[in-house]
Amino acid sequence: MSDVAVIVPTLRRPESLERALRSLFSQTGVADRLREIVVIDNDPQASSRETVDRLRPAAPVPLIWRHAPRPGVATARNEGLAATDAPLIAFLDDDEAASPGWLAALLAGQAMTGADAVFGPIRGRVPDGTGWSTPYLERFFGREGPVQSQLIDHPYGCGNALLVRATALPGAAPFNTSADQSGGEDDALFAALAARGGRFGWSADAWVDEFAPPHRANLRYALTRAFAYGQGPSQTAAAARNWPAVARWMVIGAAQTAVWTLAALPLLLSRDPRRAQVLDRAARGLGKLCWMKGFEPHFYGARELARLERQKPA
């Protein structure tokens, strides 16, 4: 029974999108399960249409293209869900490439654990020339978990994930579009799922590679993103109006910021490569402390579109 759709949001990454789609065309062990692949173009200029049209004859299942002209990560995910009625939804980002057994492993992990959302490991790939920070950046853009498939007590992000639609994706637009520019739409979704008693699973063999583009494969971007990740627990508690939890996370964040900043000082003076990881921890602590509106970095939507416009040849 064909019961799973793969959704791929994209924004002006034609080469990367082609790599992601070809990896989906090469999936093994899912011929009777994969219903369709849905590409959501989040570019107002609909720039991926030609790429999708060109690749459609090679697709083993229907390759659906939909346009979400208002740039925003949550908007794109919601549009993808509106384009399919499949009861199981897998997400693959356009900067990722799935291993041949990726989807089969996610499905097996979900069947084994009975989880509402299942996640898999990611190998971070960065361009040449990142120097001493390469090991940190590869870990940053990667994802590690248990060595065996099992239930886990916390979620990861939507990239490389399989979700049971009926329980994990309620309503017509489950992703909060207020996160369109900053991201974190999956954090809010999974926090709500956990509050409803939902379960999370890990599929140890569901590997993807994530290829960090040059403008992201640097310490400044990674630490800014680490700060945003740190904001997540405080923001989730604030959204639930759980003010004691907000206060607790802020105290934790203040302590982490102080401890890891002090730990970073001698590493910075000696130019020790470990300074990147220590600064990452300090940034996450600072994020827990500075979670309020106005402190949110913007990585998606209009900000990313503006960056791409600046790069266009004159």
CA dihedral 89, 95, 99, 100 (to 10 degrees): 70
Give, in order, the Cα–Cα distances in Å from 223 to each of 52, 102, 149, 230, 282. 34, 29, 30, 10, 9
Computed from CA positions of residues 69, 70, 73, 76, in that sequence, does the dihedral angle turn out positive or negative? Answer: negative
**Residue 13 predicted with pLDDT over 70:** yes
**Residue 169 predicted with pLDDT over 80:** yes
DSSP count for the chain of H helices, then E strands: 11, 11
Q: What is the pLDDT of residues 56-75, one digit of tens each?
A: 999 999 999 999 999 899 99
The predicted pLDDT at position 91 comes to: 98
Give the count of beta carbons closer than 10 Å to the beta carbon of residue 313.
Answer: 3
pTM above 0.85, yes or no: yes
Which residue from 2, 56, 59, 57 is spatially nearest to 25, judged by alpha carbons? 59
Joined together, the tokens standing for residue 63 give: 């390759």
Contacts of 64 (CB under 8 A, 6+ apart): 36, 37, 38, 39, 83, 84
Residue 154 is given by DSSP the state: S
Alpha-carbon distance 6 to 4, whole Å?
7
Check if the beta carbon of residue 244 is closer than 8 Å to that of residue 190.
no
Residue 147 is given by DSSP the state: S
Following DSSP, what letter does each residue of 59-92 receive, concatenated?
-SS-EEEEE--S--HHHHHHHHHHT---SEEEE-
Give, in order, the Cα–Cα distances in Å from 169 to each of 68, 82, 119, 211, 261. 19, 11, 15, 27, 39
Q: What is the pLDDT of residues 84-138, one digit of tens each?
A: 999 999 999 999 999 999 999 999 999 999 999 999 999 999 999 999 999 999 9
**Residue 314 predicted with pLDDT over 60:** no
Q: Give the chain's end-to-end CA distance (angstroms, integer).
A: 51
